[in-house]
Amino acid sequence: MAVRPLVFFPDPRLRRKAEAVAAFDEGLRTLVQDLHDTMKAAPGVGITAPHVGILQRVTVIQLDPASERKVYVNPEIVWFSDDLIRHTEGSVSMPGVTEEIERPARVRVRYRDVEGAGREEEAEGFMAVCLQHEIDQLDGIFWIDRLSRLKRERTVKRYEKLRRAQG
């Protein structure tokens, strides 16, 4: 299919809440394939439609090349555990910088597949972190919003310095 251009921080589209998908058609399937291709090219393990400037509630996650690609349309977290884990996070829309973030260790997510069928699944560990990260993005919450103000400011400065160095 196609690698689409990424939207980079601080683009305001990264802070807007994505709209629910209503049409489960060929256009959605094309978007999903393009998101997968774009994520692999970035490279990354997760991507949302807002990362390519499309404000729709679609995310694709593939934790490693050997695992199967997971597609979540209109996902929402319906339960999360009280126990927390810390994991290093970053974004295809803010390449080159990462920071450790604390999130619930387990979640239950309700979503639709590309055909529109309702699904629900539980995830733990890295997959739970990825789901929360990408669903945050669909809700207009960029990953650095989960950092303390000081860490967020330092992360943005590191990113800006990196961007200047790259020209």
For 91-129, b/e burial (b = at least 16 CB within 10 A) is bbbbbebebebebbbbbbbebbebeeeeeeeebeeebbb
- 57: Cα within 13 Å, side-chain hemisphere: 22
pLDDT value for 65: 87
pLDDT value for 50: 98
For residues 155 and 148, the answer to whether their CB atoms sit within 8 Å is: no
* DSSP secondary structure, 76-122, as one string: EEEEE-S-EEEEEE--TTSTT--EEEEEESEEEEEEE-TT--EEEEE
For residues 92 and 5, the answer to whether their CB atoms sit within 8 Å is: no
pLDDT value for 166: 87
The residues annotated as belonging to the active site are 134
- Nearest to 58, CA basis, from 112, 13, 14: 112
- Segments making up each domain of the chain, as ranges: 12-166
**Which CATH architecture describes the domain 12-166?**
Alpha-Beta Complex (3.90)
For residues 128 and 103, the answer to whether their CB atoms sit within 8 Å is: yes
User: pTM for this structure?
Assistant: 0.95
The Cα-based distances of 79 to 40, 82, 110, 128, 132 in angstroms read 29, 10, 9, 11, 11
- Has residue 110 got a pLDDT over 80? yes
- Would you place residue 167 in the very low, low, confident or very high pLDDT band (cuts 50, 70, 90)? confident
Q: Give the single-character DSSP code of 6.
A: P
Mean pLDDT of the chain: 96
- Has residue 138 got a pLDDT over 90? yes
**Per-residue pLDDT tens over the stretch 14-70:** 999 999 999 999 999 999 999 999 999 999 999 999 999 999 999 999 999 888 999
For residues 138 and 158, the answer to whether their CB atoms sit within 8 Å is: no
What residues are paired with 51 via a beta bridge?
Answer: none
**Per-residue pLDDT tens over the stretch 90-101:** 999 999 999 999
pLDDT value for 93: 97
